[in-house]
Amino acid sequence: MQKIYYGLIIIFFYTSCKAQPTQNDVVFLHADTLRGSITPERAWWNVIKYDLHITPNIQQHTIKGFNSITFLVTGSNTTMQIDLQQPLIVDSIIYEHQQLKYKREGNVCWVYTPMWPIRDAQIKQITIYYHGKPEEAIRPPWDNGMVWKNDKNNNPWFSVVCQGLGASTWWPCKDHQSDEPDSMAIHITVPNHLVDVSNGRLQVVQNNHNGTKTWSWVVHNPINNYNATMNVGKYTHWHDFYNGEKGKLDLDFYVLDYNVDKAKNQFAQAKKMLACFEYWFGPYPFYEDGYKLVETSYLGMEHQSAISYGNQFVNGYLGHDLSNTGYGYGWDYIIIHESAHEWFGNNITTKDIADMWVHESFATYSEVLYVEYLYGKKAADAYLQGLRDDIDNDKPIIAHYNVNEKGSDDMYKKGANVMHMIRTIVHNDSLFRSVLKSLNKAFYHQTVTTKQIENYINHKTGYNFTPLFDQYLRTTQIPILEYEYVYTPSGKKIRYHWVNCIKNFNMKIGGYWDGVHYTFYNVTTNWKEIDIENMKINVANAYDQNFYIYCQQKNT
């Protein structure tokens, strides 16, 4: 598509300022509601723990296993919604040694339970046994499912990626981001010569004396379902540690045995990443589970405490600079971006995937902060502005709620620009940094809504960013700073206002209007004017380019 160059006067047709936040018309099915909403059959119980056991059949690309779900009864109902996507098959569902009746409806399993009275700490457990051939990912991580591969020595090498499609593509669960287990155990049984790497800490490797071993991992912190993972291959492991804000953080690295040397060189960036992000975001959120990088056959994924890495041990994004500024060549995109999700996405998780901008906008903005850490503020500004060429403005960043729909992929680069505008308007990096750190403290290990994040930022900064959020997250319109020169008996003036925006949009904008001093002006949809006698000003060049706007002189 045609790209727009910023800092120039852009002249094009625009819509009225009366435009409201919009969503593209989409038809949703009953299955979308079952997947994306808190149905009555989900609402009456809260997950406490998952205990997942899986044995893959490498030759047939199938799996079998069971998941024990420990949960707290919070309401009265005799039907429980368990999600397990076809073509996986439920074998049985057990409660206290008794089989429960159930019925399949598409990707949902309706389980008929006893009527448990609501009492304090009424904790129950059911176990779902299942098997089948889970969906395979064709182009991971952009589509989801199992990833069955062989390494270059023809050893089996497989993993799973399921963000979007959902964890229920490979194991039975309550597949909604709003309900995270407090902890999780993952047990993967594989041939003796292979290693499984999952989330959390390795507890034991059990020799089954039948040519297989079971690798048992325990996650000590809350985890969202799509972050649970398994990675199986002929891995080599080494250990290190980082002296962080909460003490000694264990670092573990798993790569294919023939990639150790280049991996050790590339993965040294992890410590710089942690130093930068702990400075900006606060302590790494999962000290109890450690930090891992795990080589995968696909590009990458933010699996909690077990970051999937497939960037071929080169800097940039597969060797490319996404900003086209040159600053993206000095660091490994996957190590930086996916690790940032440990704070935004894994520590702070959105209840509904319609709000996934909270994950991706902050993680993409972490790239800007890392460029600043390496090269300084001007380089960070340039990198941020360079990302704009890939913004499509195709649909709103925030999607429809309760139907398992995510918004535009503009949540990455456009969302990062939103973060940078907030920082620019705050005009106080100490305050902005305290907002990022306190977000991770206030919402530590929690699920959130967009409104919670918006309100928190407004409260901490003392500035009303709601119009900015409405404009940039809920519409596709980019505000135009429209201006004109006016000559009056008292001198020359500039009149200005916002167009191509929501009703009553207002956002202050900074710049070197006199060529010397950085000054903010509050711009609204109503015309305002300033006296510029004896000032040489070109509005299109004077405003701070960190504002993602268009600028246009009014036709007279």
Domain ranges, ordered by start, for the chain: 480-553
Q: What is the pLDDT of residue 530?
A: 83
Q: CA 180 to CA 47: how far, in whole Å? A: 7
Maximum pairwise Cα distance, the chain:
96
Burial class (CB in 10 A: 0-12, 13-18, 19+), 85: buried
**C-alpha separations of 58 from 156, 167, 390 in Å:** 7, 20, 39
Per-residue confidence of the chain (556 residues) as pLDDT tens digits? 333 333 333 333 333 344 444 555 678 999 999 999 999 999 999 999 999 999 999 999 999 999 999 999 999 999 999 999 999 999 999 999 999 999 999 999 999 999 887 777 799 999 999 999 999 999 999 999 999 999 999 999 999 999 999 999 999 999 999 999 999 999 999 999 999 999 999 999 999 999 999 999 999 999 999 999 999 999 999 999 999 999 999 999 999 999 999 999 999 999 999 999 999 999 999 999 999 999 999 999 999 999 999 999 999 999 999 999 999 999 999 999 999 999 999 999 999 999 999 999 999 999 999 999 999 999 999 999 999 999 999 999 999 999 999 999 999 999 999 999 999 999 999 999 999 999 999 999 999 999 999 999 999 999 999 999 999 999 999 999 999 988 877 778 889 999 999 999 999 999 998 888 899 999 999 999 887 655 567 888 899 999 999 999 998 6
Cα 455-26-475 angle, rounded to 5 deg: 40
**C-alpha separations of 51 from 42, 99, 130, 179, 191 in Å:** 19, 19, 14, 16, 21
Q: Which of 543, 549, 501, 547 lies closest to 526, judged by CA?
A: 501
Residue in the structure block whose two tokens are 């003490």: 247
Question: Could you tell me which residues are beta bridge partners of residue 108?
Answer: 83, 105
pLDDT digits (tens, 9 = 90+) for 527-536: 998 876 555 6
Q: What is the pLDDT of residue 484?
A: 92
Q: CA 115 to CA 306: how far, in whole Å? A: 39
Q: Which of 199, 521, 491 lies closest to 346, judged by CA?
A: 199
Q: CA 273 to CA 277: how far, in whole Å? A: 6
Q: What is the pLDDT of residue 15?
A: 39
Q: CA 237 to CA 201: how far, in whole Å? A: 13
φ, ψ of residue 296 in degrees (nearest 5): -130, 165
Q: CA 82 to CA 104: how far, in whole Å? A: 10
- Contact between 454 and 469 (Cβ < 8 Å): yes
Q: What is the pLDDT of residue 493?
A: 85
Q: Give the containing element (helix H, strand E) for 86.
A: none
Q: What is the pLDDT of residue 536?
A: 65
- The pairing of strands 348-350 and 446-448 is parallel
Q: CA 46 to CA 73: how far, in whole Å? A: 7
- Contact between 359 and 345 (Cβ < 8 Å): yes
Q: CA 450 to CA 455: how far, in whole Å? A: 9
Q: DSSP secondary structure string, 390-416?
A: G----S-SS--TTTT----THHHHHHH
Q: Is the dihedral of CA 233, 318, 263, 363 positive or negative?
A: negative
pLDDT digits (tens, 9 = 90+) for 11-64: 333 333 444 445 556 789 999 999 999 999 999 999 999 999 999 999 999 999
Q: Which of 183, 160, 190 lies closest to 88, judged by CA?
A: 160
Residue in the structure block whose two tokens are 């804000």: 245
CA 433 to the chain's CA centroid: 20
**C-alpha separations of 190 from 56, 155, 193, 194, 229 in Å:** 7, 13, 8, 6, 14
Whole-structure pTM value: 0.94
